Structure 1
């Protein structure tokens, strides 16, 4: 039996007034970061904004055998976190604060 694709969802939070800047930075995503995400097995990654609360809702898929847990150790990931730290809520070390989301419904 083969492993199945894993879907993950989580929430992050923007600082007030940073919606346009967040979008601008993601529209110019660094090619080396995109390469690192793909190499880690991440695909079909979307982030949605609730404009009222400034909550960001991310949903991504992980390929079988993914290495997503190694991303925090990669220099390009750490540079991206530093690049984004001024516009969103972050943990020490500038990792974005993330709150996992519980899957409730899926329709294919």
Structure 2
């Protein structure tokens, strides 16, 4: 199992709405994530500066990203969420996140 951690930055003025939308994630989006191999997915937000940390597990990151990239619901979700993020320079959040290096793991 591959453990993936990433970071993004949410615009300060949009943090409340970002959180609200993640309390109501579309059921079709949840189904798409599960069916393309995303598991144990969590998102953490630092409201002080908008730093976002995400974590999920998957058998294969490239396959999980490619699978989501083929779904219509992901295209709709990414378009809907694009205004929330800083510094993505025209790419979707699921393609523009900064993948973090794992340096320690306690099992």
TM category, shorter? 0.7 to 0.9
Give unmatched runs, 5+ long, in structure 2.
none
TM-score, normalised to structure 2, is 0.85
Higher CA-based Rg: 1
- Secondary structure (helix, strand or coil) at the match of 1:11 reads strand
Q: CA RMSD in A?
A: 1.9
- Partner of residue 92 from structure 1, selected from 77, 90, 93: 90
Whether contact under 8 Å (1:8, 1:59) holds in the other structure is yes
Give unmatched runs, 5+ long, in structure 1.
none
Partner of 2:103: 104
Give the length in aligned residue pairs.
103
Cα distance, 1:59 vs. partner? 0.5
TM-score, normalised to structure 1, is 0.84
Higher helix share: 2
